């Protein structure tokens, strides 16, 4: 059986029927059955012989083995035990694949220690290697997987993933658009985000009820370096966009009521030239949002320091 035959609709249907189980919609199991799309994803992953590739959602192992022919090593994660069994059979003849049967996430804000350990082990064993995420991501974990990798200190150089189209629009949307929010700013503050291709339901089996997208992310270290505290920044974005249509001043006053007075908030907004009676979070560019968060982080750190020293 050739590797590319593992991803056809007829092969997958026969495989599942033979083993007596069905794809699980609750786990977002929609398999790419168009080999042209599989090749497109892998091609844009730009997988080189020295690369460590991370794949979340192994499925039956079709894309896994395809990537293993190009990469130094593939670390692939499959949550479902049935899929893990099928993938184990598919990868038997490859000695450069680590197949993990676990949740890729510890929780919504952290990657699984098991996955991180496997990545660190391969990076340590292969100095000079690069880490890339190339995957047909299950819809239900796409946002936390991408966000957490960006939040981490992992030395990743590229992500090419299939995700829900609506999520793809949010990732690359611009200020004042309906999809612009915390995720847009978080990713674009540290990455170049590009929607490569829109995919209809027919390239998957079973067919999802929505369109999908192939997204590419590459690091933007120059902009990332302007963020003084990424943990603070991420929290700032989550909270300020919870009420995206609310005036920014009232949102921030509520956010930091225990740390800053209203006048202190007004002073920071004034320094940035923000009209306190009109401005809303959805109107600000990525750079403006970084500068604003930096100012509040700095002011709160000063206040906390003054309080701790009794000043």
Q: Tell me: the pLDDT tens digits for 241-299? A: 998 778 999 999 999 999 999 999 999 999 999 887 789 999 999 999 999 999 999 99
Distance CA 146, CA 152 (A): 10
CA distances from 154 to 115, 158, 181 (A): 12, 11, 24
The arithmetic mean of pLDDT across residues 225-246, rounded, is: 93
Domain spans of the chain, in order of start:
3-221, 230-308
CATH code of 3-221, in short, is 3.40.50.150
Tokens of 258: 């225990």
Token look-up 């099928």 returns 86
Same fold across 3-221 and 230-308: no
User: What is the C-alpha to C-alpha distance for residues 141 and 29, in angstroms, rounded to an integer?
Assistant: 11
Residue length of the chain: 311
CB 7 within 8 A of CB 32: yes
Find how far residue 162's CA is from the centre of its chain. 11
Determine the angle formed by the axes of helices 81-90 and 9-19, rounding to 10 degrees: 120
Tens-place pLDDT, residues 102-118: 999 999 999 999 999 99
The DSSP annotation for the chain comes to: --GGGGGSHHHHHHHHHHHT----GGGT--EE--HHHHHHHHHHHT--TTEEEEEE--TTSHHHHHHHTTSSEEEEE---HHHHHHHHHHTTT-SSEEEE-S-SEEETTEE-HHHHHHHHHHHHHSTT-EEEEEEE--GGGHHHHHHHHHHS---EEEEEEEEEHHHHHHHH--TTSTT-SHHHHHHHTTEEEEEEEEE-GGGEESPPSS-EEEEEEEE-HHHHTT-S-HHHHHHHHHHHTTTTTSBHHHHHHHHTTTT--HHHHHHHHHHTT--TTT-BGGG--HHHHHHHHHHHHHHHHHHHHHHHTT-
Structure confidence at residue 310 as a pLDDT band (50, 70, 90): very low
For the domain made up of 230-308, give the CATH fold.
Answer: Helicase, Ruva Protein; domain 3 (1.10.8)
Residue 311 has pLDDT above 80, yes or no: no
Confidence check: pLDDT of 4 > 50: no
pLDDT in tens, 87-105: 999 999 999 999 999 999 9
**Full-model pTM:** 0.91
Q: What is the pLDDT of residues 139-184, one digit of tens each?
A: 999 999 999 999 999 999 999 999 999 999 999 999 999 999 999 9
Backbone angles phi, psi at 54, to 5 degrees: -105, 130
Give per-residue pLDDT as tens, 51-78: 999 999 999 999 999 999 999 999 999 9
Contact 162, 212 (CB under 8 A): yes
């Amino acid at each position: 059986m050739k590797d590319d035959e593992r991803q056809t609709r007829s092969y997958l249907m026969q495989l599942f029927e033979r083993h007596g189980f069905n794809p699980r919609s609750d786990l977002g199991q929609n398999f790419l059955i168009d080999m042209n799309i599989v090749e497109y994803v892998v091609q844009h992953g730009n997988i080189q012989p020295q690369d460590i590739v991370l794949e979340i959602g192994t499925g039956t192992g079709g894309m896994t083995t395809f990537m293993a022919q190009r990469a130094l090593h593939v670390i692939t994660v499959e949550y479902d035990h049935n899929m893990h069994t099928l993938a184990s059979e598919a990868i038997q003849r490859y000695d450069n694949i680590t197949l993990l049967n676990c949740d890729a996430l510890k929780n919504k804000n952290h990657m699984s220690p098991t996955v991180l350990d496997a990545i660190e082990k391969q990076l340590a064993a292969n100095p000079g290697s690069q880490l890339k995420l190339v995957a047909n991501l299950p819809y239900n974990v796409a946002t936390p997987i991408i966000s957490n990798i960006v939040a981490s200190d992992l030395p990743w150089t590229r992500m090419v993933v299939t995700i829900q189209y609506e999520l793809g629009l949010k990732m690359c949307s611009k200020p004042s658009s309906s999809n612009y929010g915390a995720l847009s700013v978080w990713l674009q503050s540290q990455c170049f985000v590009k929607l490569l291709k829109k995919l209809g339901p027919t390239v998957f089996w079973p067919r999802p009820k929505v369109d999908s997208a192939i997204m590419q992310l590459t690091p933007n270290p120059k902009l990332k370096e302007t963020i003084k505290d990424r943990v603070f920044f991420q929290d700032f974005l989550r909270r300020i966009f919870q009420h995206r249509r609310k005036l920014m001043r009232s949102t921030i006053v509520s956010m930091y009521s225990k740390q800053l007075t209203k006048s202190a908030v007004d002073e920071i907004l004034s320094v940035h030239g923000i009209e306190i009676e009109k401005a809303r979070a959805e109107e600000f560019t990525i750079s403006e949002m970084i500068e604003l968060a930096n100012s509040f982080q700095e002011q709160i750190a000063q206040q906390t320091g003054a309080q701790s020293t009794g000043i």
